[in-house]
Chains A and B, each alone.
Chain A
Amino acid sequence: MAAAAAAAGGVPSQQCFLLSVTGQVESARLAGADQLYCRYQLHGGPDWDIVTGLEEGISQVSRPSQDARQLLVWNLPVEVSYKATNPYGWPQLIVSCYGPDLFGNDVIRGLPLFVPESTSQLQKLVSWFTGRRPELADASSLATGDGRDVMRVRSQGYVTCSFQVVTKDLQRLGYDNGRRAPAGAAGGDLQPAGGGDGRPG
Chain B
Amino acid sequence: MVRGKDSSSAEVHFIGQIVSGSGFSDSQLFCRWSIQTGGAWHHVEGLKEGQTHADCPQLGQAAIWCHPVDVHYTIKGITGWPKLVVQVYSLDGFGRFDICGYGFCNLPSSPGAHSIDCVIWRPTGSLRDEFRQQFVGGGPQLRDPQLVYTSLDRYRIQTTAMGTVHVQISVILRNFARYGIEY
Residue numbers of A with Cβ under 8 A of B are: 6, 11-12, 15-16, 29, 31, 45-49, 83-90, 92, 112-114, 117, 142-146, 148-158, 173-179, 195, 197, 199
Measured CA separation A147–B30 after assembly (Å): 13
Measured CA separation A150–B177 after assembly (Å): 43
Chain B proximity of A52: nearest CB distance (Å): 15
Residues of B within 8 A of A113 (CB): 64, 66
Tell me whether A148 and B172 are in contact in the complex, defined as CB-CB below 8 angstroms, given that A87-B15, A155-B55 are known contacts: no
Residue B75 lies at the interface, judged by CB distance under 8 Å to chain A: no
Residues of A within 8 A of B17 (CB): 199
Measured CA separation A158–B62 after assembly (Å): 12
Chain A proximity of B150: nearest CB distance (Å): 25
Establish whether residues B54 and A114, one from each chain, have CB atoms under 8 Å apart when the complex forms.
no
Establish whether residues A151 and B54, one from each chain, have CB atoms under 8 Å apart when the complex forms.
yes
Residues of B within 8 A of A15 (CB): 4-5, 7
Question: Per DSSP, are chain A's interface residues mostly helix, strand or loop, or mixed?
Answer: loop
Measured CA separation A31–B56 after assembly (Å): 13
Residue from A89, A149, A156, A199 within 8 A of B50 (CB atoms) = A149
- Which of A11, A87, A151: most chain B CB closer than 10 A? A87
- Which of A47, A88, A154: most chain B CB closer than 10 A? A88
Residue from A16, A145, A154 within 8 A of B2 (CB atoms) = A16
- What band does the interface of chain B fall in when counting residues whose beta carbon is under 8 Å from A? 35 or more
Residues of A within 8 A of B168 (CB): 199
Residues of B within 8 A of A90 (CB): 13, 15, 70, 170
Residue B53 lies at the interface, judged by CB distance under 8 Å to chain A: yes
Measured CA separation A86–B70 after assembly (Å): 12
Residue numbers of B with Cβ under 8 A of A are: 1-5, 7, 13, 15, 17, 28, 30, 44-47, 50-59, 62-64, 66-70, 72, 91, 110-113, 168, 170-178
Establish whether residues B2 and A85, one from each chain, have CB atoms under 8 Å apart when the complex forms.
yes
Chain B proximity of A180: nearest CB distance (Å): 11
Measured CA separation A70–B181 after assembly (Å): 51
Chain B proximity of A77: nearest CB distance (Å): 22
- 22 A-B residue pairs with Cβ-Cβ distance under 8 Å, sorted by A, are A15-B4, A31-B58, A46-B3, A47-B2, A83-B2, A84-B2, A87-B13, A90-B170, A113-B64, A144-B68, A146-B47, A148-B52, A151-B54, A152-B54, A154-B55, A155-B55, A174-B174, A174-B178, A177-B112, A178-B112, A178-B113, A197-B113
Residues of A within 8 A of B56 (CB): 117, 152-155
Measured CA separation A195–B69 after assembly (Å): 20
- Which of B46, B66, B111, B176: most chain A CB closer than 10 A? B66
Establish whether residues A88 and B68, one from each chain, have CB atoms under 8 Å apart when the complex forms.
no
